[in-house]
Amino acid sequence: MTKDSDNRRGSRFTFAIALSFLAAPWAYSVATAQAASPVEILQQSVIDVAEKLKPSVVNIRAEQKAAPRDTRNFEEFFKNFPFGDMVPPFRMPPPQEKAESLGTGVIIREDGHIVTNFHVVDGASSVKVVFDAGSDQPEEVAAKIVGTDSEADIAVLKIEKKGLNAAKLGDSDTLKVGSFVIAIGSPFRFEQTVTFGVISAKGRHLIDETVGSLTLQDYIQTDAAINRGNSGGPLVDIRGNVVGINTAIWSPTGGNIGIGFAVPINSIKAILPQLIKGEKVERGFLGIEFGPLTREKADFWGVSNGFVVSKVMPGGPSEAAGLKEGDVIVGLNGKPLQSSEELRAIVAGMFPGTSLTVKVLRVVDEKIQEKEIKVTLGQRPSKESMGEPAGTTQSLLGMSVQEASAENLKQWGLPENSVGVIVSAVNDDGPAAKAEVAPGDLVIEIRRRDPIRIARVRSMEEYNRAIVDMKAGDKVMLRVTNRTNRTRYAVITAEEPKKDGP
């Protein structure tokens, strides 16, 4: 917001803002507040929060062993290739080697525990925490990674240093759309950068880059400017309490356009005890597959929202409790469900062994009956076992794909009549990324050699059949298009996926 626009606001609105900030412990005295304008009071509150959090926000430098990249070009692939409609070969410049990951962290305990993003330290050979990074004499302290959770994109570090100032963790559940927030971090190496904005939305779900599906973790959306290097930094409320950890942005250009995302601090507080102990984060698991109701099916069942159980996993917790294929889930623990993401997040946010009451609709003797089934949750399997095991063909290509359904086409902004499979995620520095394949691209054809094969791709089944026997070192040419209808070829050399962890 600008000063000009705020100064034009009505007296009722300005009076309300003034009252809200008088309650802050560091606000002006009553006499001062009466003389200051509401905008000045707001400004002073932001200044005070920035000063308060400065000692608690640090830079994170994660060093990674940089492996030499394959800089071979299209010419090798086109050699003796009998296709007549290929694009001319050209030499690609060698990509830059990535040897260091930069991010931000926030001190959460005076004994040296620091929270940052998992993706900041993922694959690091060493991690250093930098204090006073913008000063003439910055201090670097070696850090140990004590716990990580890729699902929430959170990591906990530990340093040995006295006199630390821990930030206060707030309550993200109390946030409302429109609440003022402040983001602190080090974008593009500009240390201790402070930006101001509001909560734009809550309960957002993003695409998980490792399996190409929506995340279990829900996110806070904010328009406070977040850029590269902000990852792991705190999102704080107007009182200086940490309400989230800045994690991601949505941008077609790579820079901030006012759509940033943070992990809610309450989600982090729930798993902190496990992370600090170095334990694996355990999540609940129902053991079912489900899909949304169509409008026609919703009318049949007489509900506005519900989810059809399409598969009950043998030996799983839902089978043991009596859940059946064809049941329609309409509520959990007495509360109605609004989205499939909400269903997944609720279950994953509970510990294995917890009892959960599932409200379902079921046809019994040609009548619709409502039943409440108590399920004791199991342990959620790893993402690899649930989505894409290490070493599969999609991992070898360094990307994940999804069906080109009407819903997915709309989500990615692709023409509604498109046919193919959608690239839903691309691993950073993986084979697909080197070939400049990007999320949202539509794969419409796959070409291979030894022996020469050309396969149209109109479904996931055809895609999987075309690459089923692929192994590391094999080359594949993908014909892809995107939302602008630009069609191109991408040559990918399959590689063994890198192992997770430091």
Supply the residues annotated as catalytic: 119, 153, 231
239 in Cβ contact with 48 (< 8 Å): no
Dihedrals phi, psi of 262, to nearest 5 degrees: -135, 145
- Side-chain half-sphere CA neighbours of 203 within 13 A: 12
- Bridging pattern class, strands 288-292 and 284-285: unpaired
Dihedrals phi, psi of 169, to nearest 5 degrees: -85, 130
Among 225, 153, 124, 139, residue whose Cα is nearest residue 182: 225
Strands (E), 293-338: 307-312, 328-332, 335-336
Per-residue DSSP letters for 194-251? EEEEEEEEEEE--EETTTTEE-SS-EEEE-S---TT-TT-EEEETTS-EEEEEEEE--
Among 200, 248, 204, 203, residue whose Cα is nearest residue 228: 248
* Cα–Cα dist 206/213, whole Å: 8
The 10 Å Cβ neighbour count of residue 294 is: 10
Dihedrals phi, psi of 260, to nearest 5 degrees: -120, 160
Judged by DSSP in three states, 273 sits in helix
- Bridging pattern class, strands 260-264 and 284-285: unpaired
Strands (E), 419-482: 421-426, 442-448, 453-456, 475-481
* Cα–Cα dist 221/177, whole Å: 9
Q: Residue 419 contacts by C-beta under 8 Å, 6 or more apart in sequence? A: 404, 444, 458
* Cα–Cα dist 438/420, whole Å: 15
Q: In three state form, how does the secondary structure of 352-397 look?
A: CCCEEEEEEEEEECCEEEEEEEEEECEECCCHHHHCCCCCCHHHHH
Q: How many angstroms separate the Cα of 231 from the Cα of each of 101, 176, 183, 225?
A: 10, 23, 10, 12
Per-residue DSSP letters for 53-71? HGGGEEEEEEE-PPPPP--
Judged by DSSP in three states, 491 sits in strand
Is the preceding peptide bond at 273 cis, omega within 30 degrees of 0?
no
